[in-house]
Amino acid sequence: MWWDIHDLPEFMLDHREILDKALQTLRLQLNYLPIGYNLLPEKFTMTELQILYETILDKKLDKRNFQRKILGYKILKSLKEKKKGMPHKSPYLYSFELEKYNDALNKGFNARW
């Protein structure tokens, strides 16, 4: 079961401290490492990726700036498919370029969210 980070149940012992430290570490890592490969489906929309980053950072990100920045890292592959079942204009799907994603994990980059 998934919980909203702002509406978590009570924790036992020091588990809340462990969660807080893990979240703090993940937020710091976002500045120099890509995330999402293990947290998103194989095909995802740019909005889904942005929501993941916003959830981790606990702040809203400008849509245009996010898309420009994330595409600039060259870790995503734009697919010729669109997400089905959307009420309005269907967004294009993306997937991670695994080799480039792993290269970014090894070398890092400077994101500054």
**What CATH number is attached to the domain comprising 82?**
1.10.10.10
The domain in which residue 70 lies consists of 15-107
pTM: 0.83
Summarised one tens digit per residue, pLDDT across range 27-41 is 998 888 888 999 999
**Residue 93 confidence (pLDDT):** 96
> Considering its fold, how many domains does the chain have in total?
1
Residue 72 lies in a domain: yes
Q: What sign results for the dihedral spanned by CA atoms 10, 29, 105, 40? A: positive
Q: What sign results for the dihedral spanned by CA atoms 74, 92, 66, 43? A: negative
Residue 9 lies in a domain: no
Residue 49 has pLDDT above 80, yes or no: yes
**Residue 109 confidence (pLDDT):** 80
Reported as a pLDDT band with limits 50, 70 and 90, residue 20 is very high
Reported as a pLDDT band with limits 50, 70 and 90, residue 90 is confident
Residue 7 lies in a domain: no
Residue 4 lies in a domain: no
Q: What is the CA radius of gyration of the chain?
A: 16
Residue 5 lies in a domain: no
